[in-house]
A and B are shown apart, each in its own frame.
Chain A
Amino acid sequence: GAVVSQHPSWVICKSGTSVKIECRSLDFQATTMFWYRQFPKQSLMLMATSNEGSKATYEQGVEKDKFLINHASLTLSTLTVTSAHPEDSSFYICSARDGPRGVGGYTFGSGTRLTVV
């Protein structure tokens, strides 16, 4: 089945630094990928929709200059958390869909646990 690989699985960084998270579709092409954030004991919150070759679409309240998304190829999307602060510590998850639009399930990455100290 479709596989989405997310890297790294966890990262600890100092406050003020930037962190890049990669999301790759291993056996299919994904023109659209999705980035979510999940705080402890809460549900997933959609941050943005990443579109290959064009600008990402951000959900309301998500700072596009802080969470930079690049979708330069059909198999890779990256999320960069810039100038990270402790409140950005969270579980970040990417997702992509393998299949015709409107049909088929979505495949999720295994997530990246970000801790900002």
Chain B
Amino acid sequence: DAKTTQPNSMESNEEEPVHLPCNHSTISGTDYIHWYRQLPSQGPEYVIHGLTSNVNNRMASLAIAEDRKSSTLILHRATLRDAAVYYCILRYSGGSNYKLTFGKGTLLTVNP
């Protein structure tokens, strides 16, 4: 699986936007970019995913660089409930198992 690089931790203030970066310089053309988050003592939660174009959903936005070697997860207005570990994962679209391999992620702290 292609590797991703994320900052270990980031801090934000409540109601401010948060930009979580992810580098994936070895991404291949068939890799989808997935983002998940994990709250303490819970299973991960799907946030968003994309291939080439920027994506928006009710939770967040995903901005993908033109060369696809990096992406940014954008939380438009952080709340205390957004405090979690955020994982950027490349999901190979070929093969038969389609497994997700987690890295260390970014621990997001949201200050009131």
The residues of A with any CB-CB pair to B shorter than 8 Å are 4, 6, 32, 34, 36, 43-46, 49, 57, 91, 93-95, 97, 101-111, 113
Is the Cβ of B105 less than 8 Å from the Cβ of A43?
Answer: yes
From known contacts A102-B32, A105-B34, A105-B49, infer whether A46 and B43 are also in contact, taking CB-CB under 8 Å: no
CB-CB under 8 A from A36, the residues of chain B are: 102
- B51 CB, nearest partner CB in chain A, Å: 9
Q: What secondary structure prevails in chain A residues at the interface with B?
A: strand
Chain B residue at smallest Cβ distance from A105 = B46
Contacts of B38 in A (CB 8 A): 44
- Total A-B residue pairs with C-beta atoms closer than 8 Å? 63
Measured in the bound complex, the distance between the Cα atoms of B43 and A6 in whole Å is: 10
Verify A43–B104 contact, CB threshold 8 A: yes
Known A-B contacts A34-B100, A43-B102, A44-B102; A102 and B93 likewise in contact (beta carbons under 8 Å): yes
Task: Tell me which of A49, A57, A103, A113 contacts B41 (CB under 8 A).
Answer: A113
Chain B count of residues within 8 A CB distance of the other chain: 26
Question: 7 closest pairs, A vs B, by CB?
Answer: A105-B46, A108-B43, A102-B93, A44-B102, A43-B102, A93-B43, A111-B43
> Do A111 and B32 touch across chains, with their CB atoms under 8 A apart?
no
Residue B44 lies at the interface, judged by CB distance under 8 Å to chain A: yes
A57 and B42 contacting across the interface, CB-CB below 8 Å: no
Distance between Cα atoms of A43 and B37 in the complex (Å): 11
> A residues within 8 A CB of B87?
43
Q: Which residue of the partner chain, among B45, B49, B97, B105, contacts A49 with CB atoms under 8 Å?
A: B97
Indicate which residue in A46, A93, A94, A111 contacts B99 across the interface (CB closer than 8 Å). A46
